[in-house]
Each structure stands twice: as structure tokens, then as C-alpha cells.
Amino acid sequence: MKISEAAERSGLSIDTIRFYEKRGMLPEIHRGPDGHRRFTPYDIDWLTLLYWLRETGMPLSAIHRFTHLAKAAAGADGDAGLAERRQILLDHRDVLSKKRAMLSRCEDVLSIKLAQYGDPAEENE
């Protein structure tokens, strides 16, 4: 499929997909005879994962490392770097729970501020 559909399905913007490709953060994206990118379901899967990782704050450097490992694994030795890839995802899961704690704390701070402002919604509590 073409880039517009890939964008729609993955959640990334067209520009972002092109940007990630430039940075070598995608598997090799093949081109049609017209020179346009053609995305396979596998590519979409990859883009979708990147979407979630980025959306929740994984830095591009980590994503780059992750992609690099996956590309290497696609070669001869299928298991090379698998442990590291897994670790990257596990680490990110920890980041998520920290983020969750931040959100809760911020909600508390907002409630306090809103109460100071005499927020009607807070007065029922």
C-alpha cells in the first residue's frame, strides 16, 4: 500500500514516516516502478509499534538501536540481539509506569489549583 494509507493505519504522519526512513529507523521500504514507497503489512506493523513507542516518549536513539538490532536479526543469525530488543521494551514498560505516576501527581496538583480557584466542579467533593 502507499504512504497515505500507511500513515492512516499506523497513526504516524506521512512526513514522519519519510523522516524515520531517512534516519534508518524502518525496515527497507521497497519502491514501486513509479518510485513511490510500497508498504507491506509487516511494515505497517513496524510503523504502528514505532507510533506507540514515540507517543509514549521513547527517544529516537533508542528506537534506532531497536531497529538496528531487528535488521541485524533479519540476516543470518535470527536470535542475535533479541535479548537486547526485549530489554529495550521492558525498560520502556518501566518508563510507562513512571509516566503514569507523573500523570496522577499532576492530576492532584491540578485539583489543588482548581480548588484554590474555587472551581465549581471541586466544590461537590
Partner DNA sequence: TCTTGACCTGGAGCTACTCCAGGCTGCTAC
Partner DNA sequence: GTAGCAGCCTGGAGTAGCTCCAGGTCAAGA
Interface positions with a copy of itself (CB under 8 A): 48-49, 52-53, 55-56, 82, 85-86, 89-90, 92-93, 96, 99-100, 102-103, 105-107, 109-110, 113-114, 117, 119, 121
For residue 39, count CB atoms less than 10 angstroms from its CB and return exposed for 0-12, middle for 13-18, buried for 19 or more: buried
Q: Choosing among DNA, a copy of itself, none, which partner's interface includes residue 90 (Cβ < 5 to 8 Å by kind)? A: a copy of itself
Q: Does 3 bind DNA (CB under 7 A)?
A: yes
Of positions 11, 14, 70, 71, contacts DNA by CB under 7 A: 14
Is residue 18 close enough to count as binding DNA by CB under 7 A? yes
The full length of the chain comes to 125
H or E stretch at 90: helix 82-116
Classify burial at 76, counting beta carbons within 10 Å of its beta carbon; exposed 0-12, middle 13-18, buried 19 or more: exposed
Which residue from 19, 40, 56, 84 is in contact with DNA, where contact means CB under 7 A? 19
